[in-house]
Structure 1
Amino acid sequence: MNSVPRPAQTPAPTVEYVGSRATYVFAVCRSDHPGFLPSTRGHPGGGPPRLLTVGSLCAVVQDVPAAEFSEAALRERLGDAAELERCARAHHGVVTAVAGGGPTVPMPLATLYLGDERVRTAVAEHAERFRLALERVAGRAEWAIKVHLTQAGTVARPAAPGTGETSGPGPGPRRVSGRDYLDRLRSRQHLREQHRESALAASEQVDDAVRRLAVAAVARRPHGSEVTGKDRTQIMNTAYLIAEERSEELTATIGRLRASEEFDGVEIDVSGPWAPYSFTDGGDLAGHP
């Protein structure tokens, strides 16, 4: 299953609960939004997700148990990997359902307020920003593209000096000298460096090709081996905002690149379309219609 993309980086409010319920905010959309799938449940233990109208905008909210979403409770829950995954998927499920019906500004995970009136006040204060963001992402979706250098580009570790690794012209294995060993180490290191340079060049080809289709892009720090696995090194990790009607062009472009001989030992991972998590706070979208 594809991983959930990083939420938008809007700061979530600090909440001090005085009642038994809090208002959780998933996203902001236009007031004429057709709604979302009635089967969308949101967070367990909460009420059904609903639309809260604020002028020409709507906040997608859910009533949740305050005790389970207090600052201390969230710190403990989100510190557990399994619980973080459950919360992220619940949040993403609602955002995805809403984005399927029209332009949507996803809110960060765990955006909470004391009640509906606090939500209305916050949305009204940032109404112009939300309207601009909704205009910018209308008819567009986020795609995540990652490029990896794979184990196919490496070679086996050379034998240590003095061990019988190769056969000479006479009977029996030939002993490897210290000089042979160092030469082989240097050769393998050179091959690894060459392959990494080729992978970096390949990632630049991917980025150049996809940027021709995109209206905006956000480059992120590549993930380490704890995410990618020890047999893959992530070279590129970039999100692109692409018009919905160009998705087939994107698929064809990636297919052409994957088939190129230059991509031997290089993998391209594509996921999407996503709600525009990376493109709803202005930033790289500035100046785009």
Structure 2
Amino acid sequence: MTAPGPTLQNHTATYVFAVCAHIDHHALATLPGLGENSPVRPLSLGALTAVVQHVEAARFSEDAWRERLSDQGELERCARAHHHVVSAVAARGATVPLPLATLYRSDERARHGLRQDAERLHTALRRIEGRVEWGVKVYAPPTPRPAAAQTPAPALSPSPSSSSSSSSVGAGRGRPSSGDGRAYLDRKRGIQKRREQHHDEALRAAETVDTAMRTVAAASRQLRTHAQEPLEPRRTQVLNAAYLVDEKRYDDVARTVTALRRSTGMDIEMSGPWVPYSFVGEV
């Protein structure tokens, strides 16, 4: 996102990747950043340091950025480049990643804007120091399907008005008997009830997973679950969460997830460790 103010007019703008306590410019020298003709470098904010790069202002104006958003390939390239810099800095110490396309008209404006946010940045750095983010996603297995023979359509009984004559209109047609219709509806209701029970059980299992993960985490966030997957098997995501965990507790995380897979029978995906993107905005 572009820093507050009118559309960028200068030839260059200051792109900010992240903020950390300190980093030497030699640690940034080999990073390509966004592929511009300027180095990724530190920008002193006093007690803090921003990691920045000069970029061509016209290529990052609001109009230009909207155009990039419509180009999935270009957007992914920028996101990967941004993340690469953030990860490299985070490997050397606590780092607060800034949102993609955070720009200021100049270094001085970047200093002014970031110093105004210094208290929040200091708090975020203290919170994530020595910690990483782990992602955990829980999927409910597909709802068991009853055998086709268990849910037949209602049987057709002869209509009172039907005739055996080949010339009779509607000959050979029938209608469901009332008994068969009720049985069919009961079976359908039973299927729906089993689906609801299956989903409720999955939600309880997801809660069990979240509770166990929070015992090894310093903080947690539940994220929006994804839509049901379009391909078979049709798994339903019932938990999408992030956990802020001390770096030294990797083995605890792995053991906890392994035990939960065994005890809940759920499909649990674990990813990480990541830069704590999910925990730098809530301070």
Q: Is TM-score (shorter-chain normalized) higher than 0.5?
A: yes
Q: Work out whether residues 24 and 61 of structure 1, in 8 Å CA contact, stay in contact via their aligned partners in 2.
A: yes
Letter in 2 for 1:26: F
What runs of 5+ residues in structure 2 fail to find an aligned partner? Answer: 156-175
State the partner residue of 1:237: 240
Letter in 2 for 1:58: T
Supply the distance in 1 between the matched residues of 2:246 and 2:25 (Cα, whole angstroms): 21
Listed as ranges, the matches of 1:180-219 within 5 Å are: 180-219=183-222
Bigger Cα Rg = 2
Q: Work out whether residues 31 and 55 of structure 1, in 8 Å CA contact, stay in contact via their aligned partners in 2.
A: no
Matched, 1:60 2:51: yes
Q: Work out whether residues 19 and 51 of structure 2, in 8 Å CA contact, stay in contact via their aligned partners in 1.
A: yes
Give the alignment's TM-score, normalised by structure 2.
Answer: 0.82
Letter in 2 for 1:63: H
Q: Work out whether residues 154 and 184 of structure 2, in 8 Å CA contact, stay in contact via their aligned partners in 1.
A: no
Letter in 2 for 1:244: E
1:149-192 deviation line (CA, Å, top 9, x unaligned): 132x33158555158xxxxxxxxxxx995444333322322222
CA distance 1:68–1:160, change in 2 (3 Å): farther
Identity, in percent, stands at: 46
State the partner residue of 2:36: 45
Letter in 1 for 2:22: S
| CA displacement at 1:108 relative to structure 2 | 0.7
CA distance 1:87–1:259, change in 2 (3 Å): same
CA distance 1:111–1:272, change in 2 (3 Å): same
State the partner residue of 2:153: 161
CA distance 1:113–1:241, change in 2 (3 Å): same
Matched, 1:73 2:76: no
Matched, 1:13 2:16: no
Listed as ranges, the matches of 1:1-289 within 5 Å are: 12-14=2-4, 16-32=7-23, 36=27, 38-151=29-142, 153-155=143-145, 158=148, 161=153, 177-225=180-228, 231-260=234-263, 262-263=264-265, 266-283=266-283
Q: Work out whether residues 132 and 246 of structure 2, in 8 Å CA contact, stay in contact via their aligned partners in 1.
A: yes
Supply the distance in 2 between the matched residues of 1:71 and 1:275 (Cα, whole angstroms): 27
1:112-151 deviation line (CA, Å, top 9, x unaligned): 1111111111122222221221111100111111111132
Range moving further from structure 2, 67-76 or 123-132: 123-132
1:13 match: secondary structure? coil
| CA displacement at 1:248 relative to structure 2 | 0.9
CA distance 1:227–1:23, change in 2 (3 Å): farther
What runs of 5+ residues in structure 1 fail to find an aligned partner? Answer: 1-10, 164-174, 284-289
Q: Work out whether residues 139 and 244 of structure 1, in 8 Å CA contact, stay in contact via their aligned partners in 2.
A: yes
Letter in 1 for 2:13: A
Give the alignment's TM-score, normalised by structure 1.
Answer: 0.80
| CA displacement at 1:195 relative to structure 2 | 1.5
